[in-house]
A and B are shown apart, each in its own frame.
Chain A
Amino acid sequence: MLFFVIRRFGNMALIMVLVSLAVFLLLELTPGSVATKVLGPYSSEEQRRLWLEAHGYMEPLWTRYGSWLVNFVQGEFGQSIRFKVPVSDVLWPRLWNTTILGFWTFAIMIPVSLTLGVLAGMREGGLLDRAISQISVITTSIPEFASAVLFSSIFVFGLKWLPGTSTMSDGFDPLQLLLPVMVLVVYDFGYVTRMTRASMAEVMTTPYIRTAVLKGLPYRRVILRHALRNALIAPFTIIMLQINWLLSGVIVVEFAFAYKGFGALLLEAALNQDIYVIEACAMVAVFVAAATQTLADIGYTYLNPRIRFK
């Protein structure tokens, strides 16, 4: 197991280096544009040249990449071109905001989707199953940008119950979190519900469940003691993958509700070619992807004793 974890994190480090190199090459091959971003489109050629010299951009690409990598390992992610502050000053607060959003999304979405999935899978083809399945398919089919507009028109413009944006400019306000969480939960719960339902339905057809039922065990006991643990193995992996999805999924939601999180930061950085912010965001995304995958694999071994890593 230890060897497996070490290997996984080794792979993760390698992927991060490769991704960082790719992003660096793509964005830094045009050093002139960096000076234009900083000094503005109306700066003169001479002004841009002087700025590039003063900030080390005339050094060879490999030297610049090497020093960036060394600094990155030491926790210095460089200076944001757009914000003119260290990247870490912007990145960590934004990541924390997205963590809050993600936490509440998962805190609502996981119990809801697991419960609905189990209820639907318990009696495949029943009325409840059909109703839950239909709702799941419909909600998952509506993209976040559409549901964001829909919910805004109902709760902000129509009923006037909720604030329209989530900038938290006067400090944390749970009300401002409602719409973004609602959009993410509605989009994602259907998918996890369907996966849980499929897994539950499969378990319910296995011989050991049939035996338990025929043995005369109460149905409640059959579900809670025998079916549930095995039925939750597949959804566990799916849920771990949702953390990855969330990192990119929040882009639309954060943009729509002006929530100052990681997704909005990544989008703004990409549109403004804010190289070091994009680099740092890419590293965070790769880290989260690899880490959740590793955690999912480790968790899987506990849930499914038949699987062992060598």
Chain B
Amino acid sequence: MSNKHNGGCHPYIPELREQLRCGKIDRREFLGTATRLGVSAAAAYAMAGSVFAPGAAFAAETPRKGGNLRVSMNVKEMTDPATYDWSEKGNLARHMTEPLVRINKDNVAEGYLAESWNASEDLKTWTFKLRKGVKWSNGDDFGADDVVSNFKRWLDPATGSSNQGRFSAMTEKVDTGKKDKDGKPVMSTVGTEGAVEKIDDNTVRFHLNRADLSLPESMGDYPALIVHRRFDDEGGDLSKNPVGTGPFALKEYTVGEKAVLARRNDASWWGGDVYLDKITYIDHGDDPSAQLAAFASGQIDANFRTNIEQVDVMKNIPDLVNYEAVTAQCGVARMKITEAPFDNKNLRKAIQACIDQEKILRIVYLGRGAPGEDHHVAPVHPEYFKLPRIKQDYDLAKKYLADAGHAGGIKIRIDCVANPTWEQNACKALAEMLKPAGIDLAINIMPGGTYWDRWLTTPFGMTSWTHRPLGVQVLNLAYRSGVSWNETSYANPEFDALLDEAGTLLDANGRRKLMEKIEMVLQDDAIMHQSSWRSIFTTAHKRVRGIYCQVAEEHHYNKVWLAG
């Protein structure tokens, strides 16, 4: 049943309000679920009775127009948003090309180029209403054709976009007619015919092969920035043909050095006033101390990321303010359970029993975050269920190790990246904790590029996972049987069935009950050690107003201004 039979509002909304009123769910949970069901962010905030609308902290101050916001960030290539694989690339493009949905600082999906959306009760049909009156910088009107064209590109395997996985509920496998060297048919993943339907110029309907609770959140991820419908025909390079709907236009761009975005004056932006004249991204390379020196000598106003080691240092520089976001970002020491010796559950349990999560958080991340519970669902996820953590117990670890046939100890190796340093520090702490049980852990530190070549195949690796708004999103991506990012090769029908069921439950409380079982299954199978959830930080000069640290390190500068 579509929600148009319910006065344009999803039938679950009244119940959701009641749950909020009774205190069964918190404000963040209400905002997340309500917006997911198509309530606009403004309406959701109003329903929640919140006085804290986004940007309200500076509401008393009149924003000042003008100025150049100088931000330290790697200026990477920005050819095609569909193939972006770093947040920095998304940040360069986001003030020109915009997403349908934006994840705001409260981890809530809010309408952006899509004004609102609604879902059928089985969560297989989603209808998105697009914002009217939005203009491309080339003068064209933005509309459904643009959205359909973007989805067509994303779901085409030749584009090479990670959005194909993100919107896998709109794809299917087809036989290419070719045979591989073993004579087996070569299959290809393509977009399902008719999955994306243009209803009218401002309405698009998505027909999913299976229920997908997180469709709006997926549209808020950085590779889902919407480019013009003729993007490919006009060269397919955003840096050379920067056509967008956003309030800024690309004025200068030298990859690896700097990018300058200037406020568009040719037409008013659909989102109202924009205060900054310019945003200048300056690439200071990968040395965090260069960023610090740039702050100290007044060469920048804000940065992309403040490493954990520098949070306290930044406080010592006058006029700088650190911004924190509590996230679901984490490092996962995951084991490939199809590879020896990690195919032995007792060995995995032995490793698990050696770990003191709180200690690792304290040593590696200076306690800024929350200890993990080895199941990759975070306290900030609306469906999180708090499980008791596995306590450090060396007697138990030795027993598991003996049961695994390694009573005399074992030598193993973990791969990890050199930067950011907290990842290798986590591995070092892990190695120290494993020693007393007789497990000798060697650490293979490598450049990021090398690790990402083998992250899916290495027997034991420390993989950094970014924030995703919903717990089920992460589990679907990383632990469902056979999915492409399943780095542990975990295949558990019981887990998959529970995840299927969770994906159909809008009720966060109901989903949480199911998550208890899901989390327990993962924790018990000990396929990973996920010792902590990390907060992330950015720093800005105090004159920069309206800035915040977004959970996925996205820059939202359209309403930022510089105080005099």
A interface residues with partner B (beta carbon < 8 Å): 30, 32-33, 36-48, 50-51, 54, 82-85, 90, 149, 152, 156-157, 160, 162-165, 167, 169, 255-258, 260, 264-265, 268, 270-273
Contacts and interface: CB of A to CB of B under 8 A. Distances in A.
Nearest to A32: B453
Nearest to A162: B297
B478 to A, nearest CB: 11
B299 A44 contact: no
Interface of B: 70, 76-77, 79, 83-86, 157-162, 164-165, 188-189, 255-258, 280, 282-287, 289-290, 292-297, 299, 447-450, 452-453, 455, 484-485
Nearest to A168: B257
A80 to B, nearest CB: 8
Given A85-B255, A164-B294, A42 B289 contact: no
A23 to B, nearest CB: 16
B449 A271 contact: yes
23 contacts: A36-B452, A41-B85, A41-B453, A45-B484, A46-B189, A47-B157, A48-B160, A50-B158, A54-B158, A82-B256, A83-B255, A83-B256, A84-B77, A85-B77, A165-B284, A169-B282, A169-B299, A260-B256, A260-B283, A268-B286, A270-B447, A272-B447, A273-B447
A54 B164 CA distance: 19
A164 B290 contact: yes
Given A40-B85, A44-B189, A50 B284 contact: no
A155 B455 CA distance: 43
Most buried by A among B86, B280, B286, B296: B296
Given A36-B452, A46-B188, A260-B256, A156 B296 contact: yes
A185 B402 CA distance: 61
A157 B316 CA distance: 11
B77 A83 contact: yes
Contacts of A45: 484
Contacts of B485: 42
Nearest to A274: B449
Given A44-B189, A169-B258, A164 B453 contact: no
A96 B259 CA distance: 20
A271 B447 contact: yes
Contacts of A273: 447, 449-450
A258 B283 contact: yes
Contacts of A165: 284, 290, 293-294, 297, 299
Given A42-B485, A84-B77, A258 B284 contact: yes
**Max count, chain A CB within 10 A of own CB: residue among B161, B257, B280, B282:** B257
Nearest to A166: B290
B256 A156 contact: no
Contacts of A33: 449-450, 453
A247 to B, nearest CB: 18
Q: Which 5 A-B pairs have the closest CB atoms?
A: A164-B293, A40-B85, A41-B452, A258-B284, A84-B77
Contact of A164 (B157, B258, B285, B299): B299
Contacts of A84: 77, 79, 255
Given A36-B453, A256-B289, 4 more contacts: A90-B255, A152-B293, A164-B296, A272-B447
Contacts of B286: 255, 268, 271
Contact of A44 (B79, B289, B297, B484): B484
Contacts of B83: 38-40
A167 B290 CA distance: 10
Contact of A258 (B76, B158, B294, B484): B294
B281 to A, nearest CB: 9
Contacts of A42: 85, 162, 165, 485
A22 B103 CA distance: 47
A202 B83 CA distance: 65
A198 to B, nearest CB: 36
Given A165-B284, A268-B285, A43 B297 contact: no
Contacts of A39: 83, 85, 160
Contacts of B85: 39-43
Given A41-B452, A51-B160, A83-B256, A169 B280 contact: yes
B141 to A, nearest CB: 30
Nearest to A45: B484
